Structure 1
Amino acid sequence: MALRLCCALTAAVAGAASALSVSSAAGANDLRAAKIQQLATQIKNEPRVLPVGGVNYPLYDGPMWAPGSLTTQIQQQELAAISNFRRASNTKAVQLAAKWAKDFDTLEDYTAFYDDVSGLIEKPLAADNSDVAFGAQRLAIKGFIMRAVNSDEFLKKPHRQSKKWIAQQDLSLHDDQIAQVCGAGVTRANIREQKKLFVSEYDQVSQYNDAKQPQKFVADVLGFFCFNSDKQQLLPVEIRLLQTGLAYTPFDTEEEWSLAKMALEAAEISYQNMQHMAETHAMTIPIRVEAYRTMSDEHPVFALLMRHVYADFALEALSAKMLLNVSTEVDKTFGWGASGAIRFLDYQMKNDNVYVTLENDFLSDIKRRGLEHIPTHKYVTYGKKYWDAFDHFVKEYMHAYYPKEEALVGDVELQNWAAACAKVSHLRGFPAKFESRDQLRKLMVHLIFQSAFKHHTMNGASSWHGVAMPYSVPALWKALPTKKVTKGEKLNLIEWAIPKELVPTQVLSPALFYRAIPVTETLLDAYRSAKFADEPLLFGAMREFETSVRKIDAELAQLESNVTQEWPSQLYRPAQLSYYTWI
């Protein structure tokens, strides 16, 4: 029975031709209800653990992976499908890393590797260690915690070296130095008022370091950036290492400043790797489970949801096996190791102060973080285009099946789904009941945006672009200096770089996420399955959506071909984004 149900589910997700329809108490369909009830016995959200090195770590609630279960069958079917999208050239790049790494004796040897394999795989943005590229990454593929500094923050007078004081103090630069980095007329006194100062706070990340692997670590760090209006660039202005109480700026020695940026990169890469999982997979997997348990595959909301959360089950299985386990790429190269990564994920799912909530949608998030004050912010600028396209499509979609609010309020399956999801403890912000089309629309647009856009800016090809030896890797490999260098002294940065015997592993980790995307899997073809294409009610909405994403594709292709771009890339075109979470 489980196998037949699984096959039926797969057909539904892939696009069976049955008509979509909502449910109501008045028009109850006993056979439809019986199928839902039967499926509910096959899958459910449960408390889970993930074993790593003989220790069971709590994992967010979701479906059990028991052999022969419906969950496992769906996983295997999805794994078989996405395994077709690998790049053979990535494997070749890893093989060359293994062959050449033994001869890496200088920082230049590490960076030259990416030039040498650029014919096989695109050179990552992070291979450029300049301040301009460092800031540009925070506008596109990093910076998902970065926010504007408020007028009443970080105002204490700069002090002698002090671990406690440094986290709260004002910028340590003089006004003339601030103006050199941040633009003419910008001073300590007015930089907040002008909304030009931003901070990335990774002041609690060291607690997740793997105590069993003390040779590598992530440091607690604050990174300050300013937007230079004259240059239209976001630039790093100060980086504070909290364990040592030292603040570094572009006016320190080149080696000291590079080490500070390495520390911020290690924290940011570690955070983002697991935060993307918290915001997408860990939310959509239990939502998907409750959809299986409460809605028919003929339900329009079920069909729309499944289109965009496809492959989440497979990706969770891959993560547990290939990333969050002993001796994996994460365990070997991340300061947190596999155990720390899981502990971080558990914290994010259980605490209310981390913004992992269904109410923190794209528009709320960029407003809360003050990102509208950076006019060149690609994630914001391009994200608004996608948000508007998704929002318009979902609005038309909801009106097609719910011509009146009463139809939505009386939709038994939909309301059962809401009630069930609201009971899953970490699905913060999921409404226990849908009162209006706008409320449902907002939730669905958020889920689609997270799966089809934000996920890809945090993970996937962006993972490859955000990690590059020796400066941008998820760990430091030597204890941080406890004092600034004196005249004549010089840091040897290669001592903090990843050991050369781990170079192939470090290359493999982000390369796993860099995959070929057939057009059939992209946003250009998002709704060209029979499930949607055969629905007369959707013809107009689908046509408008396809027109809008093709317009976005053309606009971004033109914008990103501009040679004046700091980092021109086709990464965020609809033709390069899958309509589901992909990897």
Structure 2
Amino acid sequence: MFAAQVIKAGLALVLSFGAVEGLALPQATQPLNLTQLAALLQATIQTVIESVPANTPNITFTGQYQIPQHDHQPLLRAQGITLKRTNFLYGPPIAGGPAFPTGVIGIEKLANDLGAFGIDITPQFQGALIDDTVAAAQYQQYDNLMTLDDYVKLYTNNWVHVLPHGPDPGVLTNYTDDLFFSMERLSNSPYAVKRLRPHYDTLSFNIDDKIAKKIAGKSLNQLFAEGRLFYADYRDQAALPKSAQYGAACDGYFYIDRHSGDFLPLAIRTNVGSNLIYTRLDTANDWLLAKIMLNVNDFWFSQWNHLAQTHEVVQIAYMAAIRTLSEAHPVMAMLNRLMHEVFAIQPVAEAILFQPGATVDQLFPFTGQSAQDYTTKRYKTGGAGAVESQYFKSELRARGLIDSPYGPALKHFPFYEDASIIHDAAEKALRAFVESYYSSDSAVAHDQEIQAWAKEAQGPAAVIDFPSISCIDDLVGILTHMAHLVSTSHHTSNTNELLDVSSALPFSPPALSQAPPTSKNIANVADYLPKLDKVLAQFTLAAVFARSAIAGTEKTLLHMFDDADMLSRMNSKTAKAAATFQSEMQAFSEEVRGRQFGADGLSQGMPFIWRALDPNVVPYYIAT
């Protein structure tokens, strides 16, 4: 755990923003004032740190890690677990979702995580403060954001601290391309789309056969019958309590083209107002706005689904582990490494996102309370909170995106391609780790602490779909999934990705500035986009959630298992596996950094270069 002075240092760094003179953005052009945001975070961190009791029990372990069967001090080990069970408790949820830590050890762990979070967020705050000030001062060059090109100008000589390399190549130039829009579902936002199963699923809306054949060469029903039809559904947003901004509640069809094999958009329905259905046969403005409207809905889904699917799942599974595994257990040590800062996000989310008048109310089509409720629903009943059924490849298989028994395979699937390399390398490292401590499946089955973890998760912790752990494969599976959730899954939807592509303007705003049109043939798409005050607030929020300053440091995913203290107290096989993982991630990072557009103008089948999962850029932990 972090020493008290380190926690205080993190707090002091955040507090330093209150002393910055002359850089606070004018309230008239920036509703999300960074100085106010810093003050809110200060108060959150201060409150938690001051609430840590002076007599918190010390659970720090400094010896060699070993499984209970090999520990010659079982009584001391059992006393340590009892100490944690007595002082690390399940408290009420914060910001929705599952239980949140309480008890004196729980509060101390929260304080440690918030202190570390304060240190991480400091350079982001500093960079955002400077960048936002510069961008606001240059408002005249954006020409009141009257055209789409004016939105592109927002990036000229701006955001140099929080977005040092600019948005992903192609994002500002190729966003009108249909392939750009569809391939976002297979890269930076891969969790909503699914393949429709012939003879099992049903079609949610129809489009005229002549229109479908002109676009795709086949009718809607033919595409469906051949397993070429895909669907993204955001209709559940139609009933959400609304903010002062606007959005639709789109659903849309995508298809695999029979000639090119490309994954392309077919039709988009708004499900609000006149409930218009759009295709590329409409005017260029209408079709572009339709894609933007679906992106607004996808932005909402992606952010709150990721909170439920990653943060809240690992949070509660880790809590069950804390209450059942000795600090001397190697699995506990590995989880402590992977779960760095995991408890910091929920209180931060409640403070700066969900409160009335906070950033969700300011930027999104629906209220902050809606966002919290939506997240909780995704966690509890929407599938996002499940563990075993959401394992990386199982979840993609269930949506027909890989290994589909019907229809052609996707020609390109960038998320799967990149995440697989990291996932498989982590799985290999974790298998070596587990097998170095357990000589057989029965050794896992007879580890009373591991069995207690599973029982606790399935019982008092109420973790959804937590697996039984009766063999080596089971233990490797759950550890690999935890590593996947805090890294490849999370950083695909959040962290640097928000600025790089997922909230890049003009194509991906968090909301519209006016209600969706009730008829077609609009004159100007820019009329529906957020204005400068909202734009700068959007950049501020995304910048605070990014971690560009971590690139090239020991906090990157490349160093996921590279904890010198931890490895020094484990065995040589684990240290060797950690070194191999680091070497493999270095090679993959070089591959990602070297990506260029091919002769066809594409990278991984996309008209933009996606670098979200560069292991030497993103954190090894869940961060924001």
After TM superposition, the score normalised by the length of structure 1 is: 0.86
Q: Could you list the per-position Cα deviations for residues 425-446 of structure 1 after superposition, in whole angstroms to 9, with x for gaps in the alignment?
A: 6521113x42111111111111
- Most deviating of 30-39 and 185-194: 185-194
Name the counterpart of 2:439: 403
| Pair 1:241 & 2:270 matched | yes
Per-residue deviation at 1:459? 0.7
Summarize the alignment of residues 80-95 of structure 1 with structure 2, pairs less than 5 Å apart.
Answer: 80-86=118-124, 88-95=126-133
Name the counterpart of 2:293: 263
Please tell me the residue identity of whatever aligns with 2:442: E
Name the counterpart of 2:530: 498
Partner SS for 1:109: helix
Q: 8 Å contact 1:209–1:217 — kept in the other structure?
A: no
Q: 8 Å contact 1:95–1:504 — kept in the other structure?
A: no
Name the counterpart of 1:178: 215
- Counterparts of 1:537 and 1:154 in 2: how far apart (Å)? 48
| Pair 1:442 & 2:477 matched | yes
Per-residue deviation at 1:363? 0.6
Summarize the alignment of residues 5-20 of structure 1 with structure 2, pairs less than 5 Å apart.
Answer: 9=60, 18-20=63-65
| Pair 1:578 & 2:589 matched | no
Name the counterpart of 2:182: 135
Please tell me the residue identity of whatever aligns with 1:196: R
Seen in structure 2, the aligned counterparts of structure 1 residues 353 and 200 have a Cα distance that, compared at 3 Å, is: same
Per-residue deviation at 1:232? 5.6
- Most deviating of 541-550 and 371-380: 541-550
Partner SS for 1:370: coil
From 166, 171, 174, the counterpart of 1:123? 166
Q: Could you list the per-position Cα deviations for residues 259-316 of structure 1 after superposition, in whole angstroms to 9, with x for gaps in the alignment?
A: 2112101110011111111011111112222222221222111111121121111222
| Pair 1:37 & 2:82 matched | yes
| Pair 1:75 & 2:113 matched | yes
From 464, 467, 480, the counterpart of 2:503? 467
Please tell me the residue identity of whatever aligns with 2:491: H
- Counterparts of 1:284 and 1:546 in 2: how far apart (Å)? 23
Structure 2 residues without counterparts, runs of 5 or longer: 1-51, 403-408
Partner SS for 1:280: helix
Q: Could you list the per-position Cα deviations for residues 208-240 of structure 1 after superposition, in whole angstroms to 9, with x for gaps in the alignment?
A: 233xx3x32332211222234655643222111
Summarize the alignment of residues 226-375 of structure 1 with structure 2, pairs less than 5 Å apart.
Answer: 226-228=255-257, 231=260, 233-243=262-272, 244-351=274-381, 356-372=386-402, 373-375=409-411
Seen in structure 2, the aligned counterparts of structure 1 residues 447 and 172 have a Cα distance that, compared at 3 Å, is: farther
Seen in structure 2, the aligned counterparts of structure 1 residues 447 and 328 have a Cα distance that, compared at 3 Å, is: same
Q: Could you list the per-position Cα deviations for residues 343-374 of structure 1 after superposition, in whole angstroms to 9, with x for gaps in the alignment?
A: 10121222165574432111111111222322
Q: 8 Å contact 2:185–2:192 — kept in the other structure?
A: no
- Counterparts of 1:397 and 1:171 in 2: how far apart (Å)? 56
Name the counterpart of 1:221: 250
Aligned residues with identical type, % of pairs: 21
- Counterparts of 1:68 and 1:276 in 2: how far apart (Å)? 24
- Counterparts of 2:122 and 2:94 in 1: how far apart (Å)? 30
- Counterparts of 1:81 and 1:208 in 2: how far apart (Å)? 36
After TM superposition, the score normalised by the length of structure 2 is: 0.80
Per-residue deviation at 1:567? 1.4
Name the counterpart of 1:54: none
Q: 8 Å contact 2:57–2:105 — kept in the other structure?
A: no
- Counterparts of 1:463 and 1:306 in 2: how far apart (Å)? 27
Per-residue deviation at 1:561? 6.8
Partner SS for 1:226: strand
Name the counterpart of 2:68: 23
Please tell me the residue identity of whatever aligns with 1:82: D
Seen in structure 2, the aligned counterparts of structure 1 residues 426 and 93 have a Cα distance that, compared at 3 Å, is: farther
Per-residue deviation at 1:155? 7.0
Seen in structure 2, the aligned counterparts of structure 1 residues 312 and 511 have a Cα distance that, compared at 3 Å, is: same
Name the counterpart of 1:527: 561
Seen in structure 2, the aligned counterparts of structure 1 residues 551 and 204 have a Cα distance that, compared at 3 Å, is: same
Name the counterpart of 1:163: none
Q: 8 Å contact 1:97–1:507 — kept in the other structure?
A: no
- Counterparts of 1:196 and 1:361 in 2: how far apart (Å)? 25
- Counterparts of 1:78 and 1:6 in 2: how far apart (Å)? 20
| Pair 1:429 & 2:429 matched | no
Per-residue deviation at 1:483? 3.0
Structure 1 residues without counterparts, runs of 5 or longer: 51-57, 157-166, 180-184
Partner SS for 1:371: coil
- Counterparts of 1:59 and 1:155 in 2: how far apart (Å)? 31
- Most deviating of 61-70 and 340-349: 61-70
Per-residue deviation at 1:170? 4.3
Partner SS for 1:364: helix
Partner SS for 2:417: helix
Per-residue deviation at 1:59? 4.3
- Counterparts of 1:350 and 1:343 in 2: how far apart (Å)? 10
- Counterparts of 1:384 and 1:475 in 2: how far apart (Å)? 32
Please tell me the residue identity of whatever aligns with 1:273: Q
Q: 8 Å contact 2:145–2:531 — kept in the other structure?
A: no
Partner SS for 2:389: coil
- Most deviating of 266-275 and 63-72: 63-72
Count of aligned positions: 547
| Pair 1:145 & 2:192 matched | yes
- Counterparts of 1:353 and 1:292 in 2: how far apart (Å)? 25
Partner SS for 1:235: strand
- Counterparts of 1:155 and 1:140 in 2: how far apart (Å)? 26
Q: 8 Å contact 1:6–1:74 — kept in the other structure?
A: no
Q: 8 Å contact 1:240–1:247 — kept in the other structure?
A: yes
From 70, 95, 104, the counterpart of 2:144? 104
How big is the alpha-carbon RMSD for the aligned residues of Structure 1 and Structure 2? 2.9
Please tell me the residue identity of whatever aligns with 1:498: P
Seen in structure 2, the aligned counterparts of structure 1 residues 425 and 203 have a Cα distance that, compared at 3 Å, is: farther
- Counterparts of 1:47 and 1:404 in 2: how far apart (Å)? 39
Name the counterpart of 1:201: 233
Per-residue deviation at 1:87? 6.7
Name the counterpart of 1:511: 543
Partner SS for 1:207: coil
Name the counterpart of 2:35: none
Partner SS for 2:344: helix
- Counterparts of 2:596 and 2:623 in 1: how far apart (Å)? 23
- Counterparts of 2:452 and 2:275 in 1: how far apart (Å)? 53
Please tell me the residue identity of whatever aligns with 1:60: P
| Pair 1:387 & 2:387 matched | no
Q: 8 Å contact 2:94–2:100 — kept in the other structure?
A: no
Seen in structure 2, the aligned counterparts of structure 1 residues 287 and 175 have a Cα distance that, compared at 3 Å, is: closer
Seen in structure 2, the aligned counterparts of structure 1 residues 235 and 87 have a Cα distance that, compared at 3 Å, is: farther
- Most deviating of 564-573 and 147-156: 147-156
- Counterparts of 1:542 and 1:508 in 2: how far apart (Å)? 36
